[in-house]
Amino acid sequence: MLEFPIRMRFLDLGVILIYLVAITWFGARFRTAQKSLKDYFLGGRSAPWWAISLSIISAETSTLTIVGTPALSFGGNLGFLQLIFGYLLARIVISLLLLPHYFRGEMYTAYELMRRRFGERTRKMAALIFLVTRSLAEGVRVFAIAIVVSIVLDVPEVPSILLIVALTLFYTFEGGMTAVIWTDVIQMALYVAGAIISFFVILHNIPGGWTHVVEVAAPLGKFRLFDFDFGFTMQYFSRTYTFWAGLLGGCFLTTASHGTDQLIVQRLLSARNEGQSRAALLASWFVILFQFSLFLLIGIALFVYYGEAHLPAPAKTDRIYPQFVWQHLPPGVAGLVIAAIVAAAMANLSAALNSLASTTVMDFLRPLARSTGAEDDARFLRWARWATVAWALVLVAIGIVARHWGSVLESGLSIASITLGLLLGIFLLGVLTTRVGENAASFGVIAGLSTIVYVRWFTPIAWTWWVLIGSVSTFAAGYFASWFERDRKSAPGI
């Protein structure tokens, strides 16, 4: 295995260090623009749609994509792409069903919609589900970047987690949502460029290049994309990547994550108007399709490279891509690509910190205040910054524990899939029905949670179906309970 001398690695470390300092300085520069909660949580609604679109992509993919996706195709095929078709369908559903409600009045979080429709209790319940889900899923993402940093610096994973969280916290604390969006734009461009460079370097190291990759991988089924088989059997539903699981499961997963999860909704609310928000959401799908395709092809190319070179694969295949980058790319280029991977992690982490803080302040702390006048805005802005610090500490703790949870990509997606269905079910009860009241909605959540807990721990059903099951069971139970609800109230014009 080709390795470069230690003295040449100083160039790579220099590139990474320069990036970390530069992006932290760039994000912190936005502090002067943070004069109100609207500035801190919504970027003053001044960002253009294309920047918000790229920020959505950064939040949706992150290091889990870069580290985990090549590992999937290295050991399998292109079947993961079937989820992407569900992602497109979900974006259309969100644009038609949820965005119009979000732009009626000034909203800071997705869960304000639930307060308008059901009441304060439902708002807090939905917000709490988000806080638990997002913190667990983001903790996995924090660990994902620790894999990369530990390879580069040859240090344990815990110090790696602390380093990345500390740097990201600094500019998120200072710059708020404006810093999140514009650092996302830079970091996304960097990690896509790094992936493209890596792909061509891998092909250059394989005699025969892309043609040989196809000759070796195609007969092994590595390029298989669609699995149209369908059967109402438990064995079928235990398969993770099929066309129908991708279309339906991916649609429900993305409708929940992009339509009810504050991580994405906060970006949509940051647009200047509903039209720009819709444009940002729909445009993001095309780049998502390109990104996932690129990283899956990198995994297949690495499969051929390792086979041709008779190299043993890492014990943990999540390390396959970052390890190749660090050991085989030329000095300077390797540093650039590793910096790109770190960029993806910091982009997503900063967004998660800001969305967790916004939900904590706007859905839990601010409603407790007796006055919400202008004199309180500065106080809530201070609370928002310190809530960001508190959530950073929580994510560090979860990231340390997540080292024992298996594949980073599937761990992150499966954690979110457990509770996102509950959120989507509540939102659908709110926007599609008028007879369901707060008590019935709460019952729906309890029934949905019970259902998905049973599915998760007592059936072999794959995680790609969990959001669909959770959404349908929550909606059905809530609607059924509404027929026994004494004090029903119709939807109050959400």
Max avg pLDDT among 136-140, 311-315, 490-494? 136-140
pLDDT(218) > 60: yes
**CA 150, 287, 29, 18 torsion-angle sign:** positive
Q: How far apart are CA 63 and CA 343, in angstroms?
A: 8
Mean pLDDT of 315-343: 77
Among 199, 138, 132, residue whose Cα is nearest residue 348: 138
In this prediction, residue 390 carries a pLDDT of 93
pLDDT(440) > 80: yes
Greater pLDDT, 488 or 18: 18
- Chain CA centroid to CA 12, Å: 28
Mean pLDDT of the chain: 82
Say which CATH topology domain 6-403 has: Sodium/glucose cotransporter (1.20.1730)
State both tokens at 466.
């969990």
In this prediction, residue 240 carries a pLDDT of 67
Residues whose CB is less than 8 angstroms from the CB of residue 450 and which lie 6 or more positions away in sequence, other chains included? none
299, HSE (Cβ side, Cα atoms, 13 Å): 27
pLDDT(72) > 50: yes
Residues whose CB is less than 8 angstroms from the CB of residue 166 and which lie 6 or more positions away in sequence, other chains included? 392
- Per-residue pLDDT tens over the stretch 116-129: 888 888 899 989 98
In this prediction, residue 1 carries a pLDDT of 42
Q: What is the dihedral of CA 69, 246, 474, 361, to 10 degrees?
A: 40
Give residue 426's pLDDT band: very low, low, confident or very high (50, 70, 90).
very high
State both tokens at 340.
């790109």
- Per-residue pLDDT tens over the stretch 37-46: 788 788 878 8
State both tokens at 157.
């994973």
Report which DSSP code applies to 311.
P
Greater pLDDT, 292 or 317: 292
CB 252 within 8 A of CB 89: no
Mean pLDDT of 190-203: 86
Considering the entire predicted model, what is its pTM?
0.83
pLDDT(242) > 80: no
- Per-residue pLDDT tens over the stretch 331-366: 787 887 777 777 777 777 888 888 898 889 888 888
Q: How far apart are CA 283 and CA 276, in angstroms?
A: 10
pLDDT(241) > 60: yes
In this structure, which amino acid lies at residue 70? P
How much of the chain exceeds pLDDT 70, in percent? 87
Give residue 414's pLDDT band: very low, low, confident or very high (50, 70, 90).
low
Give residue 489's pLDDT band: very low, low, confident or very high (50, 70, 90).
low
In this prediction, residue 19 carries a pLDDT of 83
Q: Which residues of 72-104 are buried (b: 16+ CB within 10 A; e: fewer)?
A: bbbebbbbbbbbbbbbbbbbebbbeebbebbbe
Mean pLDDT of 440-464: 88
pLDDT(284) > 90: yes
- Per-residue pLDDT tens over the stretch 3-25: 444 445 678 888 888 888 888 88
Question: Considering only 173-177, 304-308, 476-480, which range has the smallest mean pLDDT?
Answer: 173-177
Among 483, 395, 404, residue whose Cα is nearest residue 443: 483
Q: How far apart are CA 381 and CA 387, in angstroms?
A: 10
Greater pLDDT, 71 or 407: 71
Among 433, 406, 436, 420, residue whose Cα is nearest residue 471: 420
Domain ranges of the chain: 6-403
Say how many C-beta atoms besides its own lie within 10 A of residue 370's C-beta: 5
Report which DSSP code applies to 261.
-
Max avg pLDDT among 30-39, 80-89, 336-345? 80-89
